[in-house]
Amino acid sequence: MGRSPCCSKEGLNRGAWTALEDKILTSYIKAHGEGKWRNLPKRAGLKRCGKSCRLRWLNYLRPDIKRGNISVDEEELIVRLHKLLGNRWSLIAGRLPGRTDNEIKNYWNTTLGKKLAKADRSSSSPPSSKDINHPSFKSRSKRPVSKLSCSLSAKATRPQVTRYKPLECTKVLASAGSSLPNKNQSLYSITPEYSPFQANYCPNGSASELGQDSENPRTHHVHCGTHDDHLQENCVGDFGLINFGYGNEFNTANIMCADQPLIVEQEMLENWTSVCVEEKDTLDLDSLAYLLNSEEWP
């Protein structure tokens, strides 16, 4: 495609995958599991580069893949998530069970993007360069934090998004009066002193990590990074950070409010936690849609 290959591709097949290659890759992964993509082609006897195998598996061969027929609900969810997350397709895909980032990206570029651009034009408001959906918004070098043992809040200095390296989650912080997770629940924190709304999910958290403030028994702490980290690195108030556990995958979403601080009432927070947190630490599509569709959501 006019670019120099990222690695030696001599003798490697390129282009569309054949049924036989698919079969070989599928059975190899079923037998040996995912990962070690670099060595996989050799061991499986495929004349493909590891990247290509990974892509093929993740986007088309995985058994839980749902393809085509994107429903209206899913479409609406994509739009809303894109509004919040920008072109972070993997994060968006993480909220849509069975959908892949590539599929959503393609769908956006071919269908939704145009649809919305058309609607935008008809509403006669010119796109702002501050808009995270604007082409000038490049999140490429500021990738989202995913699969973290604990995620950090990030700052949003529009139009750019800055995300931080994960730091160890050592404490649980919650405002007095907020609903606290019980021992079977994941740890969510509410740290109003840093931002209007911030909820961090620590998937490996346990009840023992729920430390109560000795001075204020109603105050719990989640500490991802130091207070200084927050103070120095956070332009607090611009957004909330929400992690939704989805299935076995730990997904992180830096939910940004593009134009205004995300203010979350205590009641809404409690509603949200009751909707989104209770069941097996996961959030299903309906719950997320509910959250996104809620009045308070920007």
> Applying CB under 7 A, which residues contact DNA?
1-6, 9, 13-17, 35-39, 48-52, 54-56, 59-60, 67-68, 87-91, 101-103, 105-107, 109-111, 114, 138-147, 165-166
Give me the amino acid identity at 59: N
Residue with Cβ nearer DNA (109 or 294) = 109
Q: Which of 231, 227, 239, 242 is nearest to 287 (CA)?
A: 242
Q: Which of 282, 279, 215 is nearest to 243 (CA)?
A: 282
Is 110 within 8 Å of 68 (Cβ atoms)? no
Per the CB < 8 A criterion, the answer to whether 143 and 166 are in contact is no
Q: How far is the CB of 93 from DNA (least distance, A)?
A: 7
CB of 18 to DNA, least distance (A): 8
If the CB atoms of residues 158 and 220 are measured against DNA, the closer one turns out to be 158
Q: Cα separation of 176 and 295, whole Å?
A: 25
> Rounded to the nearest whole angstrom, what is the least distance from the CB of residue 108 to DNA in the complex?
9
Q: Which residue number, 6 or 215, has a Cβ lying nearer to DNA?
A: 6
Sort strands 155-157 and 242-246 into parallel, antiparallel or unpaired. unpaired
Least separation in angstroms between residue 263's CB and DNA is: 26
Q: In whole angstroms, how close is the CB of 182 to DNA at the nearest point?
A: 29
CA dist 133 and 126 (Å) reads 12
Shortest Cβ 26–DNA spacing (Å): 13
Q: Which is nearer to DNA, 6 or 72 (CB)?
A: 6
Select 58 or 289, whichever has its Cβ closest to DNA.
Answer: 58
Minimum Å gap between C-beta 265 and DNA is 30
Under DSSP, the state recorded for 248 is T
85 Cβ partners below 8 Å, 6+ apart?
A: 91, 92, 132, 144, 253, 254, 255, 256
Collect contacts of 129-135 with beta carbons under 8 A, ≥24 apart: 129/159, 130/158, 130/159, 130/258, 130/259, 131/159, 131/258, 132/83, 132/85, 132/86, 132/158, 132/159, 132/161, 132/256, 132/258, 133/82, 133/83, 133/86, 133/87, 134/159
Whichever of 109 and 232 has its CB closer to DNA, that residue is 109
Residue 16 or 228 having the CB closest to DNA: 16
